[in-house]
Amino acid sequence: MKKIIIVGMFCIGSFNVSAAPTMYVPSGNSNDVMIIDLSTDKIIGRIGELENPHGLAGSPNTEYLVAGSMKPMSQESEGAVKPRDMSDKEHDSHHSGSSRNNKNNTSSFVSIVHPQHGHVMRRIAVNGLTHHTIVSPDGKHAIAVHPGVGGVSVINLDEMKVVKEVQTGKWPNYAVFTPNGKRLYVSNAEPGTVSEIDTSDWSVIQQISVGKKPEHMSMAKDGKKLYVANVDDATAAVINLEKSEVDKRYSVGKKPHGIDVSVDGRWLFVSSKSGNKLHRIDLIEDEIVSVDLTPAPYHLEYVDKLKKLYVASRKSPKIWVINPSTLKIENEIDIKQGVAHQMVVMD
């Protein structure tokens, strides 16, 4: 087995990587990314040097993780953590220069993380706070979603720079690629739409009306359907991407948040943050099974390889490990501090 040295802001340690997938989870204001061995459901390390990370993304075709920050440069410029491979001059230039160029002081850094090395390799300035991130299937581009500026930044991961800024709509929240990478979809909370973007030139093709305050989304493996959590109408919408319209809506309780679909397209999992419920929708039989999950089920990730469902709590520092067939809690991961946000599983 391969041995990896993790050196972070909060821990220095060594560990063995198992054959099971590894999950990386940003902790928000605890300023790190947790590393969880999914064979044991134990935290085996933490990567520091981050600033209030919410969004995190990876791709099988890139060696990097891409972490967004919800902390403005103006707040982090004093006492900001400097990556070990960055000089003092570079660090000062990054912080002071980027803040000056944004009159509203809402610029932030997207951090390029090398999980095997266990630290931030590069910081890329973006014109807005970053709520969520996504990496293209080919590993060539990362998308940073900026709610406050109404659009997304397109980052070329070979050049390590922003190559395009795309306006999508007021309060964009989440982004997903189709499996072939030819289309990008971005949810816009304020107008209740999802923007369809052609990734050949990053142009917005159309706006699809999906419901009230769409936020998190999940893409079907075949790329034909998109599943959207609509926060203000308490529904999960099924979008037929060939028709660009809603095929079906499911009632899923107050303030739905996390959403994920199984690889075979049968099960759709949705968390109801305010309703303290976890829902499993059988998309073939058109049936919903719901269980109580307290407090405030939040982000979730279904790991098909292990037949496990991971659900974070918004109000308690833990991640539940759920049996997807029975919806019973099989384990709990005590994360000690912060809140578990956008989960990324890497084989």
The yes-or-no verdict on residue 75 having pLDDT over 80 is no
Weakest mean pLDDT among 90-94, 122-126, 153-157: 90-94
Confidence (pLDDT) at 294: 98
Q: Which residue has the tokens 């930044």?
A: 153
Task: Give the whole-angstrom CA distance, residue 326 versus residue 31.
Answer: 34
Range 40-58 average pLDDT? 96
Confidence (pLDDT) at 71: 94
Q: What is the pTM of this model?
A: 0.88
Range 52-77 average pLDDT? 87
Range 282-308 average pLDDT? 97
Confidence (pLDDT) at 106: 83
The yes-or-no verdict on residue 324 having pLDDT over 70 is yes
Range 282-310 average pLDDT? 97
The partner residues of 16 in beta bridges, in order of sequence, read 3
Range 137-162 average pLDDT? 97
Task: Give the whole-angstrom CA distance, residue 208 versus residue 21.
Answer: 35
> What band does 97 get if pLDDT is binned at 50, 70 and 90?
very low
Range 146-164 average pLDDT? 97
Task: Give the whole-angstrom CA distance, residue 312 versus residue 191.
Answer: 28
